């Protein structure tokens, strides 16, 4: 270690030591510290392959290793000696040198020259289990575990709920505006796709062949166009990672996060759907009229927002990019199957698929509403042309099997209610993850610790009973409990 690096390490450790004197607990993971740096630590915890070698006062570690049969040689840094005793890589290096370079190692009084590091580790582990450091650590753990109702103060935020929501909305809005791939590239793709739709169904008219063409156009717009919204899932996962880190520090609540995420995405989704929806509507020449135009773009906005809300709910429980996208795509694929286009509503098998799957599919309600919005009030040419024209209401009832007695605005309101439902599910998933998951992990960890302690007690007890110091220790503990 060069001198500037050594000085920097000493300065950093000395600063951390000063912080610990102000009532803070500082935990540092270090590798091969200098003797000056090592002397600054109060407690020392040595691990080897996940097993405890030593846990106690750093100043007592030197004597602990000496009593275990591994005294620190003169002129050797104690921390280097401890590392030498518990790192089995030294055995591999020595074996390699002896085998390839035919080196001869001079005899010494170091016990590690006579046994392997693996044997030394096993000896140290067993010695630690019978040491007073181990019993002191267990007593401290038992003392801490008996404390109930203590609430750790993580600092938290002094801002009001409205300020938290405003700040999160503003920050999320800025992040989204700077993320080219999340919204701006999506806007470009949406525009390109809707231009393609507009050129394929250009000025579709009211001929006999346009009846099914209008249905296909609506199915593609509200099926496959909204399907592209799953592309934002990686950004949702990153938002969840930031939220989890900041939530642990108590900076804001779950409700403020959900509200901020919802409000910040709203302007971008409105812009994307209104621009692309306007292009598609006027190029295809769907049912003319401002009311019909507004319904079309509002229905498209609601459908895209439902997908965003669904993917956010998935992101709260599936943090993996690939698995989340596959899950979201699978759910939407099932929803499209029961939308009423690939199989007419009355022909969908009633158990499961008709009830309830078609009713929880937003594609079903979007197509029901758009079919009414586009066909109701129009007259289509018959085949042959000399026959009377076909009213749109007749097509809705007999071709697409739609209940014309239900208003299209009810269909739209159902989609908006799904947005709220998915956001509530998103909120509940976060709360469950915060409250239930740690409880389950704690329960599993406690059971494992109980099993481990039971195993250790069974293995160590016969050898411990032969120790006079342990018998005195147990007798003193029993007398102390009797006095209480």
Kind and range of the H or E element at 362? helix 362-375
**What confidence tens digit (pLDDT) does each residue in 331-358 have?**
999 999 999 999 999 999 999 999 999 9
Q: Residue 66 pLDDT > 60, yes or no? A: yes
The answer to whether residue 148 scores a pLDDT higher than 70 is no
What are φ and ψ of residue 48, in 5° steps? Answer: -140, 115
3-state class (DSSP) for residue 21: coil
Residue count of the chain, please give it.
484
Q: Can you say whether residue 135 is alpha, beta or left, with left for phi > 0 and alpha for psi between -120 and 50 degrees?
A: alpha
pLDDT, tens digit, 9 for 90 and up, residues 419-469: 999 999 999 988 888 777 777 777 777 787 777 665 444 333 333 334 444
Identify the three-state secondary structure at position 115.
coil
pLDDT in the model for residue 48: 85
The whole-angstrom separation of Cα 483 and Cα 402 is 84
Q: What angle do CA 308, 314, 318 make, to 5 degrees?
A: 140
To the nearest whole number, what is the mean pLDDT of the chain?
83
Give the strand pairing for 51-57 and 351-352. Answer: unpaired
Type and span of the H or E element at 391: strand 390-391
More confident residue, 207 or 107: 207
Structure confidence at residue 483 (pLDDT): 41
Count of other CB atoms within 10 angstroms of residue 42: 10
Tell me which residue of 362, 345, 340 sits closest to 419, measured CA to CA.
362
pTM above 0.85, yes or no: no
Could you tell me which residues are beta bridge partners of residue 52?
47
Cα 329 from Cα 311, distance rounded (Å)? 10
pLDDT of residue 23: 74
Joined tokens for residue 274: 């209104």
Exposure class string for 441-453: b at 16+ Cβ within 10 A, else e: eeeeeeeeeeeee
Structure tokens at 265: 């995405």
Query: pLDDT, tens digit, for every residue of 186-232?
Result: 889 999 999 999 999 999 999 999 999 999 999 999 988 888 888 77
CA 23 – CA 293 distance, rounded (Å): 65
**Going by DSSP bridges, is the β-strand pair 51-57/43-48 parallel, antiparallel, or unpaired?**
antiparallel
Burial of 260 (0-12, 13-18, 19+ CB in 10 A): buried
Q: For the chain, how far is it from start to end, CA to CA, in angstroms?
A: 54
For 384-412, the pLDDT digits (tens) are 888 899 999 999 999 999 988 899 999 99
Please give the residue that has the higher pLDDT: either 49 or 169: 169
């Amino acid at each position: 270690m060069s001198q500037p690096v050594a000085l920097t390490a000493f300065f950093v450790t000395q600063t951390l030591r000063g912080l610990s004197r102000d009532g803070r607990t500082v935990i540092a993971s270090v590798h091969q510290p200098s003797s000056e740096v090592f002397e600054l630590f109060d407690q020392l915890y040595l691990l080897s392959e996940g097993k405890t070698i030593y846990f106690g006062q750093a100043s007592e570690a030197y004597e602990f290793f000496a009593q275990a049969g591994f005294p620190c040689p003169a002129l050797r840094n104690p921390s280097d000696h401890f590392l030498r005793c518990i790192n089995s890589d030294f055995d591999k290096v020595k074996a390699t040198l002896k085998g390839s370079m035919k080196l001869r190692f001079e005899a010494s009084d170091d016990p590690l020259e006579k046994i392997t590091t693996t044997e030394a580790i096993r000896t140290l582990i067993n010695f630690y289990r019978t040491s007073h450091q181990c019993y002191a650590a267990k007593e401290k753990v038992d003392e801490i575990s008996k404390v109930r109702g203590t609430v750790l103060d993580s600092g938290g935020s002094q801002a009001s709920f409205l300020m938290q929501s405003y700040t999160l909305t503003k920050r999320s809005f800025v992040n989204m505006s700077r993320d080219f791939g999340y919204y701006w590239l999506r806007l470009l793709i949406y525009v390109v796709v809707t231009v393609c739709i507009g050129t394929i169904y250009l000025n579709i008219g009211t001929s006999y062949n346009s009846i099914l063409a209008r249905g296909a156009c609506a199915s593609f717009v509200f099926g496959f166009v909204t399907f592209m919204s799953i592309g934002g899932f990686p950004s949702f996962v990153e938002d969840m990672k930031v939220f989890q880190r900041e939530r642990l520090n108590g900076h804001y609540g779950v409700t403020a996060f959900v509200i901020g995420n919802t409000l910040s995405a709203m302007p971008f989704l409105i812009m994307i759907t209104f621009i692309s929806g306007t292009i598609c509507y006027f190029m295809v020449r769907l049912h003319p009229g401002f009311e019909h135009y507004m319904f079309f773009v509002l229905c498209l906005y609601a459908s895209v927002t439902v997908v965003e809300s669904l993917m956010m709910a998935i992101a709260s429980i599936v943090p993996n990019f690939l698995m989340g996208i596959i899950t979201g795509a699978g759910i939407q694929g099932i929803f499209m199957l029961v939308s009423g286009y690939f199989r007419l509503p009355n022909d969908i098998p009633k158990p499961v698929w008709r009830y309830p799957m078609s009713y929880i599919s937003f594609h079903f309600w979007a197509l029901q509403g758009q079919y009414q919005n586009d066909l109701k009030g129009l007259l289509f040419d018959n085949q042959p042309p000399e026959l009377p024209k076909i009213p749109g209401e007749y097509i809705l009832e007999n071709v697409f099997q739609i209940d014309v007695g239900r208003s299209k605005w009810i269909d739209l309101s159902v989609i908006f209610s799904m947005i709220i439902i998915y956001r509530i599910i998103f909120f509940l998933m976060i709360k469950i993850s915060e409250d239930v998951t740690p409880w389950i992990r704690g329960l599993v960890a406690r059971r494992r610790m109980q099993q481990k302690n039971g195993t250790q007690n069974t293995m160590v007890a016969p050898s411990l009973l032969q120790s006079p110091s342990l018998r005195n220790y147990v007798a003193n503990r029993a007398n102390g409990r009797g006095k209480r």
